[in-house]
Structure 1
Amino acid sequence: MRVTTSTCRCVCCRGWRSATGSACTCRRCGNAPIHGSDRLVLIVALVALAVVLVFAIVRPAGWSEAVVAVPAAAVVIAVGAVSTADASAEAGRMLPVVGFLAAVLVLAKLCDDEGLFQAAGAWMARGSSGEPRRLLGQVFLIAAATTAILSLDATVVLLTPVVLATVRTMRVPARPHLYATAHLSNSASLLLPVSNLTNLLAFSAAGLSFTRFSALMAAPWVAAVAVEYLLLRLLFRRDLANVHAENPTPTAQRPVFVLVVLGLTLVGFAATSFAGLSPAWAALAGAVVLGVRSLAQRRSTIGGIVHALHIPFLVFVLALAVVVKAVMVNGLNHAAADLLPAGGSLVALLGIAAVAAVLSNVVNNLPAVLVLLPLVAAGGPAAVLAVLIGVNIGPNLTYVGSLSNLLWRKLLHDHDEPTSVREFTALGALTVPACLVVAVVALWAGVRLIGV
């Protein structure tokens, strides 16, 4: 007698398992019987995810990503692709992450209001002495630090215009310096949990303290940034050749107070983690201190601070998590799990990072990390951090790899600075594989040296 294998779904909690013959038991709740899979539900969930991602990439008329994501989440709940209880639980799991992100976004905006990025532009111009190669080094230092401490959004939205203004003032080729901000907004976001929304998600899944997370990711961060620098300097060697450049000596007030507050906020991140509290409290404290000063000196406004929260984007993140959950519980988890290597060996970690990088360029890095983290969490922190390396470095390959890439391109177009899809992809093809390998090797070595 032939035994058939099928995929089936639990009536009560919609949990999935692969069943042999007619003997099925739900992995999640243990109930039986299990009914046959509803392909229409899976199709609806996949279509909903595709529509959300396309809209987020195109953003017609500048509309927020939430305009489509929220209705899509409602649709997948209505058709039963995900239960109301599961959707609520997923949104509740994401709320602390979203709160942390909101605090960091406000902190970055207040730093800009206090003149931090204008001071950075003046420092880059003076420190370069009119030499394009030295300017690239200055851009790398500032962009890597900005991305790590204030998140990739600060690098794209706040630093990139400063870099563009600096290269135009100095009359040097803009391409190497602008591509540096684009690439570092992704690859330099490995260091701290606050550096990227993907990091916040991985931080939650890995179960590591703030300091342990940062210690494990320090070597991959240094390795990735160093390789990016060497490759960009090599690839743009003609643009960086010694040319007669303007060497302005712009002046800017030293933002001592801002730098002190940022330093104390970083200490607060570690302190709250040791105390068992969310690091969001440290970010909030830093934002409050800067906010009170900036409002009192009329450098900021209440409206500007509220706008910096990017509330529609935060809502989009919550709705996207629900849509991804619907796709996962209806079968994508099994398909994705089959692609992922098991174990913590160097080969396995390289495989996990590669899958994460490829998936990021297929569905964008935010959905990719939401899909992959539950599948690798059982493999321990090393597997989670390998996913993070893939979804942070991988997006440098294509514009659709991350929303920050699209925002970077839009910003340059708004400033009449041309960009090229072909050139962006060619640079990514040359830099992403090398950065992935060195970062994963550094992670593997760090895990064996300091443990998890």
Structure 2
Amino acid sequence: MDAVKLAAIGALLLAASGVAILTGVLSAADAGAIADRVWPILLFVVAVTIVAELSATAGVFDMAAAWLARAARGRVLVLWLLIVGLAVVVTAFLSLDTTAVLLTPVVVAVARANGLPPLPFAFTTVWLANTASLFLPVSNLTNLLAAHRLGGTDAGAFLALLGPSAVVAASVTAGLLWLVHRRALRGRFTPASPPRVADAVLLRLSALVLVVMMPLLVSGLPPWQPALAGAIALVALFAWRSPGTLRLGLVPWQLIVFASGLFLAAGALDALGSGALLAAVTGSGDDLPSLWQLAGTGMLGANAVNNLPAYLALEPVADSPVRLAALLAGVGAGPLITPWASLATLLWHARLSAVGVAVPWRRYVVWGLVAAPVTVALAVVPLALR
């Protein structure tokens, strides 16, 4: 699914939502409430995308990965473990899409520069982009949607609830990745020379913006505020140092159209009574079997359609903080089976194709059939123990 198709689907959903409003299925007041809930989320997505894109252009991610290669001192397993840590941090603070889109080509380039097979590193970024997206509200669009029911912008409250599950999900993922790729992760390599820095001032100041912005994202401020401030700072910096880099394409217009249409369409379906039907499938209660039932339904929905519509459809039946957290575990850590299960996976595949790395989809699906249910099931256990 390329950007044009994504925008086309969003336009169709917006048109269908418009019909729902005109026919009274979705009231104007309900549509307004959806818009009021969604605009800060979409503004954050736009701002953090600009920050990530410009930081990557400045070479921040390239230099970070090159530093990790030197820090590994020629040991392949150590380099991979450092990449795992970097993927978790980038996903937690800058969202899963940033890991999939911007970190993937960087780790592929590092692997190639050091004479290592790129696929183990590429699979690491896409799996952790999904499973490490449970740490913070800003890690995933579904988390931001749920945040208003889980302490708002209070990252501490979110982390207190989902932190243990996030640690389990990321740890299980890393363990499974090592098990699958253990042969390729043995041995040593000769560290390559660091990449050339085109503009050292641009690199250092871009890195400084990231370092300042990331803790502010979890400071209790609405996430769109520090993200927007970071985007403005980097746009001003690039206007000074590299004005030719700035373009309208930095704004993810297609994602905005898609998400807007999806939010309104989900509101219309809820008004038609979809919640009652889904409640029969997902059950009720905060015990472990009930939480597994809800998380499993979310995982299946994400892999059948996509994680965002799966979350929006199931949100009304997640009627307690623990059940909502279980749903987030299902739609966040579960999209590991089908290529369309999350937008991050589709973007990951596009970036790999652009750098000439073929994705063995059959292998991806087979491994995902094992990894997704195991990761989701274990990530839900800490929620039941509360």
TM > 0.5 fold call = yes
Give the 3-state SS of the residue equivalent to 2:335 in structure 1. Answer: helix
Indicate whether 1:227 and 2:227 are aligned: no
1:261 to 205, 209, 220: 209
Gaps in structure 2 of 5+ consecutive residues: none
Asked whether the 8 Å contact 1:365–1:391 carries over to 2, the reply is: yes
CA contact under 8 A between 2:217 and 2:223: conserved in structure 1?
A: yes
The partner residue of 1:154 within 98, 115, 120 is 98
**2:349 maps to 1:419:** no
Q: Which amino acid aligns with 1:218?
A: G
Amino acid at match of 1:346: L
Taking the aligned partners of 1:215 and 1:198, their CA distance within structure 2 comes to 17
Determine if contact 1:397/1:432 at 8 Å carries over to the other structure: yes
Superposition pairs of residues 39-78 of structure 1, within 5 angstroms:
57=1, 65-78=9-22
Measure how far apart 1:214 and its partner are: 2.4
Q: Distance in 1 between matches of 2:375 and 2:65?
A: 27
Which of 194, 201, 204 does residue 250 from structure 1 map onto?
194
**Which position in structure 1 is the counterpart of 2:300?**
358
**1:136 and 2:136 aligned:** no
* Contact persistence 2:11–2:257 (CA under 8 A): no
Residues 240-285 of structure 1: CA deviation (Å, up to 9, x unaligned)? 2326x442131566855445433432443344x2xxx523112222
Deviations along 1:357-391, whole A, 9 cap, x unmatched? 11111221000111111221x32x22111111111
CA distance in 2, matches of 1:116, 1:58: 26
The one-letter code matched in structure 2 to 1:210 is A
Q: What is the correspondence of 1:245-324 to structure 2 with a 5 Å cutoff?
A: 245-251=189-195, 257-271=205-219, 273=220, 278-298=222-242, 301-303=245-247, 306-324=248-266
Question: For residues 103 and 63 of structure 1, do their structure 2 counterparts lie closer, same or farther at Cα, with a shift above 3 Å needed?
Answer: closer
The aligned amino acid for 1:250 is: P
CA contact 2:337–2:369 (8 Å) conserved in 1: yes
Three-state SS of the structure 2 residue aligned to 1:397 is coil
TM-score calculated relative to the size of structure 2: 0.90
**In structure 2, what is the equivalent of residue 405 of structure 1?**
345
Structure whose alpha-carbon radius of gyration is higher: 1
State the partner residue of 2:160.
215
| Partner residue, 1:187 | 131
Correspondence 1:90 to 2:34: yes
Relative contact order, CA 8 A, sep 6+: which one is greater?
A: 2
Cα distance in 2 between the residues matched to 1:269 and 1:240? 34
Given the alignment of the two structures, is residue 374 of structure 1 paired with residue 374 of structure 2, yes or no?
no
CA separation in 1, counterparts of 2:6 and 2:282? 37
CA displacement at 1:62 relative to structure 2: 7.9
Matching of residue 443 in structure 1 with residue 383 in structure 2: yes
Q: What's the C-alpha RMSD, in Å, of the aligned pairs?
A: 2.5
Question: Which residue of structure 1 aligns with residue 181 of structure 2?
Answer: 236
- 1:429 is matched with 369
Give the aligned residue type for 2:228: L
Aligned to 1:197: 141
Check 1:163–1:64 CA distance in 2 against 1; reply closer, same or farther (3 A cut): farther
Residue identity in the other structure for 1:318: S
- Alignment match, 2:275: 333
Give the drift of 1:94: 1.4
| Cα pair distance change 1:166/1:231, threshold 3 Å | same
Determine if contact 1:125/1:249 at 8 Å carries over to the other structure: no
Change (3 A) 1:393 1:224: same
Aligned to 1:48: none
Q: Is the 8 A contact 2:10 2:260 kept in 1?
A: no
Asked if the contact 1:65/1:313 (under 8 Å) is kept, the reply is no
Shift of 1:222: 1.8
Which residue identity is paired with 1:242?
G
Given that 1:119 and 1:252 are in contact with CA atoms closer than 8 Å, whether structure 2 keeps it comes out as no
Q: 1:269 to 1:169 in 2, by over 3 A?
A: closer
**Residue correspondences, number:** 381
- Partner deviation per Cα, 1:121-164 (whole Å, 9 max, x = no partner): 21233233344322321221111111111111111111111111
- Quick one: structure 1 residues 415 and 301, their matched pair in 2 at CA, closer, same or farther if it must change by over 3 Å? closer
- CA distance in 2 between partners of 1:261 and 1:215 (Å): 27
Separation in structure 2 between the aligned mates of residue 438 and residue 155 of structure 1, nearest angstrom: 23
Partner Cα distance (1:256, 1:371) in 2: 43
Q: Which residue identity lines up with residue 439 of structure 1 in the other structure? A: A
Distance in structure 2 (CA, Å) of the matches to 1:299 and 1:222: 41
Per the TM alignment, residue 438 of structure 1 is displaced from its structure 2 partner at its CA by: 2.5
Contact 2:114-2:191 within 8 A present in 1 as well: yes
Contact 1:114 1:258 in 2 (8 A): yes
| Structure 1, unpaired ranges of 5+ | 1-56
In structure 1, what is the Cα distance between the partners aligned to 2:133 and 2:196?
27
User: Equivalents in 1 of 2:5, 2:278: separation in Å?
Assistant: 34
TM-score (norm 1): 0.77
- Aligned partner of 1:41 in structure 2 is none
